[in-house]
Amino acid sequence: MNENIIEVKKLNKIYDKTIAVKDLSFVINKGKIIGLLGPNGCGKTTTIAMILGLVKPTSGEVIIKGKNIEKERINLLEKMNFISPYVELPKKLTVEENLKVYAGLYGVKNVNEKISELVNELRLNKFLKKKTGELSSGQKNRISLAKALINDPEILMLDEPTASLDPDTGDFVRSFIEHYSSKTNVTILLASHNMNEVERLCDSVMMMKDGIIVDTGKSQELISRHGRKNLEEVFLKIVRE
């Protein structure tokens, strides 16, 4: 039986007079990877921020595991995490110090064991004692991923997780997410501009434009429905309509 882990009900967000998100409703089942596609400024980040409780909706509800994020924010955040290229870890702290800080903030019990596990899985051994600011963007991305997994999240919000990465590192991250998802049954909401990534990783895709979901379905369904060759062409058609 499918378990609804994220329920978004009639969500609206208005900043002053700008409508960022309009009447948004969707459900994400446990263990699914759902892609959130749309042009810049279409409301993807605001939607993710409202699911994380970082932004207060103007109206509507975000229900996580049956609980309202506005009422149970701290409890729910214990099993959620987030990664974005626009959010960084303190540069002057070593990788190990950063991971220890976040292990503490998420109340991780066996801190050293957990860090050691993530370090091995994400191949971070060489950087553990290095200052985070000294690392390349690809290395920093893997550290951010380690931070995002420090609490064994049941829900992961990935905002452009492979943006600005070289193809090799990008592929490593995608393979890791694929492997981690099948191993842990984590639920993932993935906002990305990389259509190949979305086709490869996502069970289903939501297309956003001007704060609303304009189409949704599996990648192949969207491609067939719009009579295009790939998801990128579907994206361009929807954005330019």
- Give contact residues for other proteins (rule: CB under 8 A): 13, 15, 20, 45-46, 49, 52-56, 74-75, 77-78, 80-82, 84, 86-94, 97, 100-107, 131, 147
Nearer to other proteins, 68 or 216 (CB): 68
Q: For the chain, what is the radius of gyration of the CA atoms?
A: 18
Nearer to other proteins, 51 or 238 (CB): 51
Cβ 103 to other proteins shortest distance, Å: 7
β strands within the chain, DSSP E: 4-15, 18-29, 33-37, 59-64, 67-68, 80-83, 155-159, 187-191, 204-209, 212-217
Q: Which residues of 189-207 are buried (b: 16+ CB within 10 A; e: fewer)?
A: bbbbbbbebbbebbebbbb
Name, in order, each residue with C-beta under 8 angstroms of 212's C-beta and a sequence gap of 6 or more: 21, 22, 23, 24, 43
Cβ 27 to other proteins shortest distance, Å: 22
Cβ 229 to other proteins shortest distance, Å: 35
Nearer to other proteins, 91 or 179 (CB): 91
CB 157 within 8 A of CB 81: yes
Nearer to other proteins, 11 or 49 (CB): 49
Name, in order, each residue with C-beta under 8 angstroms of 63's C-beta and a sequence gap of 6 or more: 4, 6, 7, 8, 9, 69
Measured CA to CA in angstroms, residue 111 lies from 68, 86, 93 at distances of 29, 26, 17
Cβ 199 to other proteins shortest distance, Å: 28
Cβ 116 to other proteins shortest distance, Å: 18
Cβ 70 to other proteins shortest distance, Å: 9
CA atoms within 13 A on the CB side of 25: 4
Nearer to other proteins, 70 or 221 (CB): 70
Nearer to other proteins, 45 or 194 (CB): 45
